[in-house]
Amino acid sequence: MIRSEILKEIAPIIRDHLVVCNIGLPSQELHMIDDQPTNFYMLGTMGLSSSIGFGLALAQSKPVISIDGDGSVLTNLGTLPTIANNATGNYTLLIIDNGSYGSTGDQPTYAGKKTSLAAVAKACGCDNVIEVQDKDLGPVLQSAIDSDEMTIIVCKCDSGNIKLPVITMDPVVIRDRFMKAVAS
């Protein structure tokens, strides 16, 4: 499966939850598949999906899912020790690991070579790290959301992209409707 197929499959699972979605194609795909006020789309700032989602999870009690990518986590590897050492049960980090920088043309990442992000997360002190194949993600994600313990999911999948438009929604509109959804 490629990322857009995974997002289609998990859309019903994450629809009613707060989601911080990674820059570029992941946000564009989620926006096209199932736009929700509970989705915060990153239009820039590669690497910070996990940090934004984690700050949100620490600030309030609703479940938060950060959808991140292997390339973006590699950009901000310092996020994993911070998350591990300040764990909060309402947070799930979903790393869709297709071993490539999808938004820039599928150049390979080190996560698709020798580097295991699941092993890195464990070494950083994250207690619940699950590496899962794309087709098995749904139930794993659902139980992570339902669980009282923070979970890091590394979902291994194929690289590949679909053609789709950029998000033209104003960032302040995205942020404002998201904050209203958080507060509701």
Q: Which of 20, 120, 140, 155 binds another protein (CB under 8 A)?
A: 20
Number of Cβ atoms within 10 Å of the Cβ of 117: 23
Is residue 161 a contact residue for another protein (CB under 8 A)? no
45 counts as binding another protein under rule CB under 8 A? yes
Query: Using the rule CB under 8 A, is 89 a contact of another protein?
Result: no
CA distances from 85 to 56, 118, 123, 125 (A): 16, 16, 12, 7
User: At 92, which amino acid appears?
Assistant: T
b or e along 16-35 (b: 16 or more beta carbons within 10 Å of the residue's beta carbon)?
ebbbbbbbbbbbbbbbeebe
**Options 36, 76, 116, 147; binder of another protein; rule CB under 8 A:** 76
Give me the least distance between CB of 160 and another protein, in Å please: 26
**Residue closest to 94 by CA, chosen among 164, 17, 162, 177:** 17
Write the binding mask 120 to 139 for another protein: x where contact by CB under 8 A, - elsewhere: --------------------
CA distance 47 to 134: 22
- Segment contacting another protein (CB under 8 A): 6-14, 46-54, 129-137, 145-153? 46-54
Residue numbers of the site for another protein (CB under 8 A)?
20, 40, 42-45, 47-60, 76, 78-79, 81-82, 86, 171-172, 174-175, 178-179, 182-183
